């Protein structure tokens, strides 16, 4: 699975995790994917020094960190800034990942890891994934464009193909 989702733009995988970079991402996903950069996509995190500092502390040594608003990530990918790197993207929300998708950033998969911070009625896709109707539509649109939608919390958990659950 190491390079199964790698793109020429540097992206090796895309994950939605409302905790962004935390123990499981830092100790399992980043080393397992041999990431050289973790990119957190979140408008709020990009503007908040405290959140950025916390994410920096959680990022393993030797892994570069970017905390970007979706618009800045789109801009950077459009100029091929990360080619030659191994970029693991973590979006705080499905909407963050959907925004970079709509902005033309290419990726092969969205892994729904921990999506539980929802204050609207939700559909339960997995024990750690709850999506609103609006998020479900975003995922369907990406799925219909050929992007694989998975649910997998830890690297040693089974991969659950959420593609058909979205209908």
CA pair distance 55, 43, nearest whole angstrom: 14
CATH of domain 11-166: 3.40.35.10
pLDDT band, residue 142 (cuts 50/70/90): very high
Report pLDDT digits (tens) over 29-49. Answer: 999 999 999 999 999 999 999
| Percent of the chain topping pLDDT 70 | 98
Pairing of strands 122-126, 64-68: unpaired
pLDDT band, residue 1 (cuts 50/70/90): low
Q: What pTM, to 2 d.p., does this model score?
A: 0.93
Domain ranges of the chain: 11-166
């Amino acid at each position: 699975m190491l390079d199964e989702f790698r793109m020429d733009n540097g992206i090796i995988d895309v994950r939605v995790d409302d905790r962004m970079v935390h123990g499981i991402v830092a100790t399992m996903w980043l080393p397992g994917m041999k990431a050289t950069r973790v990119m957190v996509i979140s408008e709020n995190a990009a503007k908040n020094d405290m959140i950025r500092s916390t994410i920096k502390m959680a990022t393993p040594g030797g892994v570069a960190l970017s905390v970007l608003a979706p618009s800045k990530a789109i801009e950077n990918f459009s100029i091929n800034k990360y080619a030659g790197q191994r970029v693991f993207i973590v979006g705080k929300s499905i909407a963050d990942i959907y925004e970079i998708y709509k902005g033309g950033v290419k990726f092969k998969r969205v892994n729904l890891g921990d999506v539980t911070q929802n204050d609207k009625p939700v559909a339960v896709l997995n024990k750690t994934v709850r999506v609103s109707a609006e998020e479900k539509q975003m995922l369907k649109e990406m799925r219909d464009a050929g992007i694989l939608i998975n649910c997998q919390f830890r690297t040693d958990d089974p991969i659950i193909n959420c593609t058909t659950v979205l209908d």
